[in-house]
Amino acid sequence: MSDISSGDHDASIRPGEKSVALPDHYDAQVYFIGRIRTPWTDRGACPRRGDPQHGPVCILDIDPRWAEALTGIGENANLQVLYWMDQARRDLVVQTPRHDGSVVGTFALRSPVRPNPIASSIVTLLEVDGTRLKVRGLDCLDGTPMVDLKPEHPRG
């Protein structure tokens, strides 16, 4: 944890990266609606991006409070999952993702390091078992909190 140039934890900052002061207040609040179960327990093991066809089966474990909100979800072949990258720092405006010195703005990246660490993935829905949904296409750590779940496309 003492090596600030390390990429191994999200509090790190590399040469060329820049932070700004965060706003002095938040503007809105979120509820975690459940947790994502994946095979990956450390960040280094996570794939760079999920594969909705060939990736491993992962579980969306929805809080029982929201059980009825899943009514009819099985009709969708693909879902959009929004989740909260809760280990990421939020104050970087430019980042050096390629380790080659090139500097890219946070909003020009899909990095988890961003003002609001909300990730979005499209997954293939395999099975609905009560409040547990089997899907393919995720790339996040086991235990990642979920903030939303919706069909990829609006109802026709």
- Closest distance to a copy of itself from the beta carbon of 57 (Å): 19
Name which of 39 and 105 has its Cβ closer to a copy of itself: 105
- Closest distance to a copy of itself from the beta carbon of 3 (Å): 25
What's the chain's Rg over C-alpha atoms? 17
Helix (H, G, I), strand (E, B) or coil at 85: coil
- Closest distance to a copy of itself from the beta carbon of 66 (Å): 6
Name which of 38 and 114 has its Cβ closer to a copy of itself: 114
Whether residue 108 contacts residue 23, with contact meaning beta carbons closer than 8 Å, is answered with: no
d(CA 50, CA 78): 13
Task: Give the footprint of a copy of itself on this chain (CB under 8 A).
Answer: 18, 20-23, 26-33, 48-49, 62, 65-73, 75-76, 80, 82, 84, 86, 90, 93-94, 97, 103-110, 114-116, 118, 120, 145, 147-151, 154-155
Reading phi first (left if > 0) and then psi (alpha if -120 to 50, else beta), residue 10 is in alpha
